[in-house]
A and B are shown apart, each in its own frame.
Chain A
């Protein structure tokens, strides 16, 4: 099982509490035993404490792409990097809906927008120091953004700043090639405490972008490029004592971190240790035994451990949050006969989502059945279901649902169904199992599918992300999963349903949906300073997408997370995709 996934960073400050209650997930009926209770950590941080000292132990079945804040993309990494680095903003250290709030971190306040949202100004706190005692300046933040977005060497992270900041003329080649002092002209640092970003378009969610670890300051003199991951200059309460790729990382207190400059962090443990490349089963066993505190990947226990953690004595220590990403099937609008909306609607009805859910691991480890593109933990989510399904007794879709599918097939001019290809990633057995479940349910209305499989590493760059390949091979249906880089409607949708996201290779808009109405609605929304109106638009866009029937939502992913007894201040943060918030964890 692939334990890594891209970040699902950020979420809106304002999300209706009712929405979150619906997604916060699961029933609490299993509350027995003496612990805080099943799903207690989803709503708020449990085991609250201010006790300092001890060693907090993390385990991970894999490794970072890089712990360098400027060269990383994973959600766990964004979450964890805040222990040794401070970006301009971050998310409130809290659980549940409170975790979605963007708060200033290195900056004194959220961004000051001007020029209709095209210029953003931040003031830095005074007295913030690196672990060697030198003072942080706004130039270090500017430099951090430049190196992470414009250099040829640091390729792992997202490139949003490069996409939204005004470029130099000629194009800025990055700080490693450009030996001048000025750097990128669109980031101004009039004084050591001020930083101003000039964007090429009005972008009202810029506070979410600067919450990424890419704004954690890097002193130019200390930058060693690709080797910086072993020599990170810390601004957080901890400094990185050692990082051995594939083995471990250890952190200890940063003597130059000052609590008075940092209202967010409690900095409880004296030491933090991370063991990498651990065996997944073993991580679970050690969590249960109490010799390990956190599974850093944050995607839940192994399926083999599931019965153990759901046993009565352990269940009160388990959380089952929504993970902020959607598993879905794109229907390509340029592949016949799926170019006809009725054929796509037939698929919407005939896809047995419960079967897909079971194939993926069931309601606890797999996720909830999805009816919208936006998952419930993304700001702008609106609940609706345009293609309601009912299950028959003993499993499978009922006759009424199948009849609706057949009706749509009739309208599409394919009364006896049609044949197409369905793609999945070969090295993800659960995804292949899901594809098969869908194949079997579609067959009931005469839609015949051949399952084609490609390796995950090349899925988007060589196969289904290449429109020409998709057309040439007639691949009508493609399974994928998506998590937002910041979970507002825009962050989630812009990469998968915007016409601009169709690329000759490596695109994520697999349906090739290029509806001028949808494109415009998205562009308008992000330029709209009125947050409430923006969020409402996201729900409307979601509906427009579902009306086009080009995306078949399958499940909102969920995971079973275990929180050992001795860990304090432990709660689920939605801003990093439903894992535990690492910022203020401590040990008893």
Chain B
């Protein structure tokens, strides 16, 4: 068990190195492949007056002159042992794990990530609760009443849910519930839970429901399919033959087994969401990691982009590990090795 976790963690670190290397490549190798010079790249980070001097200064300050691998090496080194940052008259020490400083705003990346994470976590957690309970309940009922009107109707609704672009549902729900009928606050009113729990809740209801609708649809379908498959298994027949009440058969035996694939998917989904629900956050104006990512990509703020992608990948990897560990708990047939 312990060895397994260690092995997985080493794998995770390699994975993160790979992700950061690819991100680096996209931002620094690709433009060069497409024919841009270092000066042109640097010009993107100079203010409104891209004079030769300013470009030279910027190149030096951001270390853009170094070969990409050297830049990458410095980055990794920063994570391992920390880095110094020249802010002009003062030098700032950024302790390990140092994710660098924004090319745009000179803010420490880690600080910004920590600052933005709660909004994203609030969004993801609330939505996950709704979609898991909603999706699984609907899925189980549909599986049990297979072929009924309920089954057909919910499955078509579920398919519709998967087919809707979230920014569209977001706009429609904002239009309906906050601009036409003012039940919920409009976009961009996110308040931290520590500042005002009531406002926090009110501002997140619409994004939660919108986001959850999309996922609930998917989970309902998954649960239904899983349930149908397990209900045909021999051990279910055995359980019934033993005279166990149907409720026990369904919840203890069938549902438990069909949870395994759902957990896999849930791990991936939640991991991705924790890295920022880009579209939901944009539509509802939630200042989370997704918004940060989009803004940073648009302004070519590489250290920020790296920070968010690393965080996302890390959360996916870690949650997957947790899911795999949980397998052993939920499904006795699984053994870690």
> With A and B bound together, what is the CA distance between A457 and B40 in angstroms?
11
Contact A277-B287, Cβ < 8 Å, known A227-B90, A282-B187: yes
Residues of B within 8 Å of A281, CB to CB, are 179, 186-187
With beta carbons under 8 angstroms apart, the residue of A225, A246, A462 that contacts B87 is A225
Q: Is the CB of B87 within 8 A of A227?
A: yes
Smallest CB gap from B116: residue in A: A246
Whether B47 is near chain A, meaning CB under 8 Å from some CB there, is yes
Q: Is the CB of A154 within 8 A of B287?
A: no
> With A and B bound together, what is the CA distance between A247 and B77 in angstroms?
30
Residues of B within 8 Å of A157, CB to CB, are 47-48
Residues of A within 8 Å of B46, CB to CB, are 155
Smallest CB gap from B185: residue in A: A282
Q: Which residues in chain A, 508-523, are within 8 Å of chain B measured between CB atoms? A: none
> With A and B bound together, what is the CA distance between A279 and B88 in angstroms?
34
| A 498-510 binary contact with B (CB < 8 Å = 1; else 0) | 0000000110000
Q: Is the CB of A457 within 8 A of B187?
A: no
Majority SS at the chain B contact face: loop
Chain B's nearest CB lies how many Å from the CB of A171? 9
Contact A151-B47, Cβ < 8 Å, known A226-B106, A279-B188, A282-B187: no
Q: Is the CB of A282 within 8 A of B90?
A: no
Smallest CB gap from A179: residue in B: B89
Contact A73-B285, Cβ < 8 Å, known A152-B57, A223-B88, A282-B188: no
| A 124-163 binary contact with B (CB < 8 Å = 1; else 0) | 0000000000000000000000010001111111110000
| B 86-130 binary contact with A (CB < 8 Å = 1; else 0) | 111110100000000000011100001001000000000000000
Q: Is the CB of B285 within 8 A of A152?
A: no
Residues of A within 8 Å of B51, CB to CB, are 159, 506
Q: Is the CB of B44 within 8 A of A461?
A: yes
Residues of B within 8 Å of A225, CB to CB, are 86-90
Q: Which residues in chain B, 42-69, are within 8 Å of chain A measured between CB atoms? A: 43-51, 54, 57-58, 60-61
> With A and B bound together, what is the CA distance between A153 and B60 in angstroms?
10
Whether B71 is near chain A, meaning CB under 8 Å from some CB there, is no
Smallest CB gap from B188: residue in A: A279
Smallest CB gap from A155: residue in B: B47
Smallest CB gap from A507: residue in B: B50
> With A and B bound together, what is the CA distance between A227 and B49 in angstroms?
21
> With A and B bound together, what is the CA distance between A247 and B116 in angstroms?
10
Chain A's nearest CB lies how many Å from the CB of B38? 13
Q: Which residues in chain A, 447-474, are within 8 Å of chain B measured between CB atoms? A: 457-458, 461-462
Contact A244-B92, Cβ < 8 Å, known A155-B47, A155-B58, A156-B48: no
Residues of A within 8 Å of B107, CB to CB, are 245
Residues of A within 8 Å of B54, CB to CB, are 152, 155, 159
Chain B's nearest CB lies how many Å from the CB of A163? 9
Whether B291 is near chain A, meaning CB under 8 Å from some CB there, is yes
Residues of A within 8 Å of B299, CB to CB, are 457
Q: Which residues in chain A, 223-238, are within 8 Å of chain B measured between CB atoms? A: 223-228
> With A and B bound together, what is the CA distance between A175 and B89 in angstroms?
8
Residues of B within 8 Å of A151, CB to CB, are 88
Whether B189 is near chain A, meaning CB under 8 Å from some CB there, is yes
Majority SS at the chain A contact face: loop
Taking A277-B287, A279-B188, A281-B186 as given, write out 13 further A-B residue pairs in contact, using a Cβ cutoff of 8 Å, ordered by the A residue number.
Answer: A155-B46, A223-B88, A224-B89, A228-B88, A247-B287, A278-B285, A279-B186, A279-B284, A281-B187, A282-B186, A282-B189, A285-B186, A462-B36
Q: Can you give 6 A-B contacts (C-beta < 8 A)?
A: A6-B48, A157-B47, A227-B87, A247-B287, A282-B189, A461-B50
> With A and B bound together, what is the CA distance between A283 and B107 in angstroms?
26
Residues of A within 8 Å of B89, CB to CB, are 175-176, 220, 223-225
Q: Which residues in chain B, 21-49, are within 8 Å of chain A measured between CB atoms? A: 36, 40, 43-49
Whether B300 is near chain A, meaning CB under 8 Å from some CB there, is yes
Whether A65 is near chain B, meaning CB under 8 Å from some CB there, is yes
Q: Is the CB of A227 within 8 A of B50?
A: no
Q: Is the CB of A152 within 8 A of B61?
A: yes
Whether A488 is near chain B, meaning CB under 8 Å from some CB there, is no
Contact A277-B48, Cβ < 8 Å, known A176-B89, A225-B90: no
Chain A's nearest CB lies how many Å from the CB of B115? 7
Chain A's nearest CB lies how many Å from the CB of B103? 11
- Residue of B36, B46, B47, B89 contacting most chain A CB atoms (<10 Å): B89
Smallest CB gap from B44: residue in A: A457
Smallest CB gap from A74: residue in B: B48
Residues of A within 8 Å of B284, CB to CB, are 279
Q: Which residues in chain A, 277-300, are within 8 Å of chain B measured between CB atoms? A: 277-279, 281-283, 285
Q: Is the CB of B47 within 8 A of A457?
A: no
Residues of B within 8 Å of A439, CB to CB, are none
> With A and B bound together, what is the CA distance between A462 and B87 in angstroms?
28
> With A and B bound together, what is the CA distance between A485 and B92 in angstroms?
33
| B 260-291 binary contact with A (CB < 8 Å = 1; else 0) | 00000000000000000000000011010001
Q: Is the CB of A153 within 8 A of B43?
A: no
Whether A66 is near chain B, meaning CB under 8 Å from some CB there, is yes
Residues of A within 8 Å of B105, CB to CB, are 66, 245
> With A and B bound together, what is the CA distance between A165 and B84 in angstroms?
34
With beta carbons under 8 angstroms apart, the residue of A153, A279, A506 that contacts B61 is A153
Residues of A within 8 Å of B43, CB to CB, are 461-462, 505-506
Q: Is the CB of A153 within 8 A of B88?
A: yes
Q: Is the CB of A226 within 8 A of B87?
A: yes
Chain A's nearest CB lies how many Å from the CB of B165? 18
Residues of B within 8 Å of A244, CB to CB, are 115
Chain B's nearest CB lies how many Å from the CB of A575? 19
> With A and B bound together, what is the CA distance between A281 and B106 in angstroms?
29
Top 7 nearest A-B pairs (CB, nearest first) are A225-B88, A279-B188, A152-B57, A279-B285, A279-B187, A225-B87, A226-B106
Residues of B within 8 Å of A153, CB to CB, are 61, 86-88
Q: Is the CB of B58 within 8 A of A224?
A: no
Q: Which residues in chain A, 77-99, are within 8 Å of chain B measured between CB atoms? A: none
Chain B's nearest CB lies how many Å from the CB of A133? 22
Q: Is the CB of A246 within 8 A of B287?
A: yes
Residues of A within 8 Å of B58, CB to CB, are 152, 155
> With A and B bound together, what is the CA distance between A157 and B54 in angstroms?
12
> With A and B bound together, what is the CA distance between A531 and B51 in angstroms?
31
> With A and B bound together, what is the CA distance between A157 and B48 in angstroms?
7
Q: Is the CB of A227 within 8 A of B106?
A: yes
Residues of B within 8 Å of A506, CB to CB, are 43, 49-51
Residues of B within 8 Å of A457, CB to CB, are 44, 299-300
Chain A's nearest CB lies how many Å from the CB of B85? 9
> With A and B bound together, what is the CA distance between A457 and B106 in angstroms?
19
Q: Is the CB of A224 within 8 A of B188?
A: no
Chain B's nearest CB lies how many Å from the CB of A312? 20
Chain B's nearest CB lies how many Å from the CB of A165? 15
- Residue of A147, A151, A227 contacting most chain B CB atoms (<10 Å): A227
Chain B's nearest CB lies how many Å from the CB of A361? 21
Q: Is the CB of A224 within 8 A of B90?
A: yes
| A 158-197 binary contact with B (CB < 8 Å = 1; else 0) | 1100000000000000011000000000000000000000
Residues of B within 8 Å of A73, CB to CB, are 47-48
Chain B's nearest CB lies how many Å from the CB of A345? 33
Residues of B within 8 Å of A282, CB to CB, are 186-189, 285
- Residue of A147, A151, A157, A285 contacting most chain B CB atoms (<10 Å): A285
With beta carbons under 8 angstroms apart, the residue of A65, A227, A285, A462 that contacts B92 is A227
With beta carbons under 8 angstroms apart, the residue of B48, B50, B60, B115 that contacts A152 is B60
Contact A461-B40, Cβ < 8 Å, known A158-B48, A245-B105: yes
- Residue of B87, B88, B284 contacting most chain A CB atoms (<10 Å): B88
Q: Is the CB of A278 within 8 A of B188?
A: yes
Chain A's nearest CB lies how many Å from the CB of B139? 34
Q: Is the CB of A155 within 8 A of B285?
A: no
